[in-house]
Amino acid sequence: MRQIPFYFAFILLVFSCQEKAPNSSPEAYPNIVFIFADDLGYGDISSFGATDIATPNIDRIADEGIKFTSFLSASPVCSPSRAGLLTGRMPQRMGINAVFFPESLTGMDPEEITFAEILKEKGYQTAAVGKWHLGHMEKYLPLNQGFDQYFGIPYSNDMRSVVYMRDNKVEEFEVDQTYTTQKYTEEALSFIDQASDSPFLLYVAHNQPHVPIYASPDFQGKSNRGLYGDVIQEIDWSVGQILKKLEEKGILENTLIVFSSDNGPWLVMEDHGGSAGDLREGKQFTFEGGVRVPTVAMWKGKIPAGQVYEEMATQMDWFPTFCKLVGAEIPSDREIDGKDLSAVLFENGNREEDTFLYYMLSDQRGYREGDWKIKRPYKGFAGSRGMKAVEAHDTLLFNLKNDPGETINLAKENPEKLAQMMRAMDLAVKQLGPLPPSKVVGTAQDNSHYEYLDKKHKGQGNK
């Protein structure tokens, strides 16, 4: 066998190391800061097309790192999307198809493995700040899912009994949401001060711009899109404060920072509900406006600056990506749906797969394969206070590369492609195997006592 001269072997070794993700030895572990907005639309960030909202700090992450233009949430509603992010798994595999409420007695099973648990096993300090929304009973809270500490509102800020929790206990029963974004920022900065001598994970999940929306006095009236824009500019300020703190600590260059949103904008809330830009529909729907979210990431010196990744990636991909960064094995006892993004982030490469199943709650509604997307027929929705009206439609076929706004149905002129996509979608659903039943997030009140009294009084009135 022909031997390779030593100097050639050395050169090959150097180049092969350069092509891999950053060193996974403990001393090289990056800090990870994941900032998550709630119901932020694709058209609400300057670098994604907003002209009436200024977001220089979020834009900085895009400029000094990577911008994802086709990044998909795991779901168009809150709790399922967060479950998908933290576990790398389709929420349907966990029975998390709807949102949890303060009266919910269920949550994400403690047996699920989050990326916080993976990182904690590698010696990370871990903190969650903000909205949790995966169950508020103690067994479902962040401290049982890999986080060392937690502070925040455990569900959506429009629900009953909005409270601040610290770890597993209620700290404040009266919450002035005008200052919630500032409060979360203070908690985030305090954690960085405390944890900066060792690798840490900081998960900051803002309750805003989910309604009701609030901006502190310093930001009220500052944007060109009313109160909603003020809210986004305060979130951008918060991002800037975190970046500044990382710089002051001298650790910015050893920190991976991600900014994203859990799903699209709540359009039925009108000027309090954000914008999907040129995308179709928003939250609660499986058109792109409901699931495609503005996402940017930076790691100075590791992610080449100014990248734009136009192919599909998903919120579930962060789980295997973080595993790769710290040399952790991806759990083999369960299906992990996310794909490692290391090649995308560090090598100007591509994601391993380009398929995605679209679900709204437990209803499977669409499928993507490369640039193509198919949607099953939909009976339409007449509209309500909480969900906008959407017209019925037949089977739809789109080429998202040419038509990201999903305006041109190509089904009739591409019957072969339509049939192929339908077969691929049905096969992908079949390959999921049996899925667990949806978790019970609440049951109806028994109002039979009031019904009895109404009937009784009505009967007395007729005498």
What are the φ/ψ torsions at residue 76 (nearest 5 degrees)?
Answer: -85, 15
* Pairing of the two strands 31-37 and 255-261: parallel
Candidates 134, 137, 156, 143; CA nearest to 439 is 134
In 372-459, DSSP assigns E strands to 372-375, 396-399
CB 293 within 8 A of CB 71: yes
CB 276 within 8 A of CB 265: yes
CB 42 within 8 A of CB 277: yes
Q: Which of 133, 136, 206, 210 does the annotation list as catalytic? A: 133
For the chain, how big is the Rg over CA atoms in Å? 23
Query: 292: which strand partners?
Result: 72
Question: Residue 323: enclosing H or E segment and its boundaries?
Answer: helix 318-325
Q: What angle do CA 118, 121, 126 make, to 5 degrees?
A: 75
CB 151 within 8 A of CB 172: no
Question: Residue 80: enclosing H or E segment and its boundaries?
Answer: helix 78-87
Distance CA 131, CA 121 (A): 24
Peptide bond into 26 cis (omega under 30): no
Is position 133 annotated as part of the catalytic site? yes
How many CB atoms lie under 10 A from the CB of residue 101? 17
Is position 323 annotated as part of the catalytic site? no
Q: In what order do the strands lie in the sheet with 169-172?
A: 169-172, 164-166, 149-152, 125-130, 200-205, 31-37, 255-261, 295-298, 66-68, 307-309
Distance CA 357, CA 292 (A): 13
Q: Which of 78, 136, 210, 323 does the annotation list as catalytic? A: 78
Catalytic residues: 78, 133
